[in-house]
């Protein structure tokens, strides 16, 4: 149902697939890509993104170094967990599909992830994280010449909630959830210098449904949003 708010365009479900850069350095953040050039056009490599269900980030390593390692790092509520899988990279089809499992918040987490052989189609499925129902992900494949940066933030105004961003090269994407909702909304756009430009045509009619602006300032993002009679501000800080 349309709620006269850009957060009313809800996507129900767990799988968020996305292909979506500011000169930032800091002791706690990567400042160069982990992805290797030989994996740029294959399903192997590094996949990074953000999540809502609380807030955090995720990194998936699909044999990036050619040593057979397949692993997932999950950060949620400022705590980091290492998840493992029994599934291996399938060299005959050049892809991967399997569950990553491990102890999270004292319970057993299980998160499904897949990537097809071209490395262009990938996503999460059947995510079960103790204490974090209805998790939504936004993830992109890192390239050897394009660092993925992840930000966690909030929006306020006529509606309030969480909005988390992924930036890579000259593109960005985000996942948002209004407080007391269970579904998530997606945004995506381009980076024009330090400005976030939004493609906000949710309903496909050729018109922008949301006026969304943003700027990059070091490890921070901030801006404004409006849709109909609803409006407000948002801000986010880098977390990975």
Residues forming a β-bridge with 47: 60, 141
Using DSSP's 3-state secondary structure scheme, residue 40 falls into coil
Lay out the sheet containing 70-76: strands in order across. 122-128, 107-115, 96-104, 79-84, 70-76, 55-62, 45-52, 136-141
What dihedral angle (degrees, nearest 10) is formed by the CA atoms of 38, 39, 45, 50? 120
Instruction: Determine what percent of the chain is predicted with pLDDT higher than 90.
Output: 71
Q: What is the mean pLDDT of residues 50-79?
A: 96
What dihedral angle (degrees, nearest 10) is formed by the CA atoms of 92, 16, 48, 232? 170
Mean pLDDT of the chain: 87
Rg (CA), the chain: 17
Chain-centroid distance, C-alpha 163: 10
* Residue 23, pLDDT score: 44
Q: What is the mean pLDDT of residues 35-59?
A: 96
Chain-centroid distance, C-alpha 193: 21
Please tell me the distance from the alpha carbon of residue 212 to that of residue 233, in angstroms, as a whole number. 9
The answer, yes or no, to whether residue 94 has pLDDT greater than 90, is no
Whose tokens are 């599909």? That residue is: 97
For the chain, how many residues are written?
Answer: 240
Give 35's contacts (C-beta < 8 A, 6+ positions apart).
45, 46, 64, 141, 142, 143, 144
Using DSSP's 3-state secondary structure scheme, residue 49 falls into strand
Element (H, E) at 112: strand 107-115
> What are the distances in angstroms from CA 116 to CA 41, 42, 139?
11, 9, 15
* Residue 3, pLDDT score: 36
* Residue 28, pLDDT score: 77
pLDDT-based confidence at 1, cuts 50/70/90? very low
Give the DSSP letter of residue 238.
Answer: E
- Per residue in 198-240, pLDDT (tens digit) is 867 665 566 667 788 999 999 999 999 988 888 999 999 999 9
* Residue 92, pLDDT score: 83
CA torsion sign for 29, 21, 60, 94 is negative
- 91 or 70: which carries more pLDDT confidence? 70
pLDDT-based confidence at 83, cuts 50/70/90? very high
Please tell me the distance from the alpha carbon of residue 139 to that of residue 123, in angstroms, as a whole number. 7
* Residue 66, pLDDT score: 93
Give the DSSP letter of residue 200.
Answer: -
């Amino acid at each position: 149902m349309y709620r006269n708010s850009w957060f009313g365009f809800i996507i129900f479900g767990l799988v968020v697939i996305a292909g979506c850069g500011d000169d930032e350095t800091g002791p706690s953040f990567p400042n160069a890509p982990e992805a290797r050039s030989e994996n740029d056009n294959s399903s192997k490599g590094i996949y990074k993104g953000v999540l809502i269900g609380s807030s955090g980030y995720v990194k998936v390593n699909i044999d990036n170094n050619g040593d057979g390692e397949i692993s997932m790092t999950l950060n949620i509520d400022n705590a980091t967990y290492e998840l493992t899988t029994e599934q291996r990279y399938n060299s005959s089809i050049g892809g991967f599909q399997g569950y990553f499992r491990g102890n999270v918040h004292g319970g057993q987490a299980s998160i499904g992830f897949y990537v097809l052989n071209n490395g262009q189609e990938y996503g999460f499925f059947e995510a079960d994280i103790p204490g974090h129902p209805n998790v939504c992900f936004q993830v992109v494949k890192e390239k050897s010449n394009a660092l993925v940066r992840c930000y966690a933030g909030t929006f306020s105004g006529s509606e309030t909630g969480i909005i988390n961003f992924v930036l890579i090269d000259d593109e960005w994407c985000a996942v948002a959830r209004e407080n007391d909702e269970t579904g998530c909304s997606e945004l995506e756009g381009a980076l024009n210098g330090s400005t976030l430009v939004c493609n906000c045509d949710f309903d496909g009619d050729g018109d922008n449904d949301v006026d969304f602006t943003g700027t990059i300032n070091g490890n921070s993002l901030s801006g404004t949003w409006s849709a109909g009679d609803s409006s407000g501000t948002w801000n986010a800080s880098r977390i990975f």
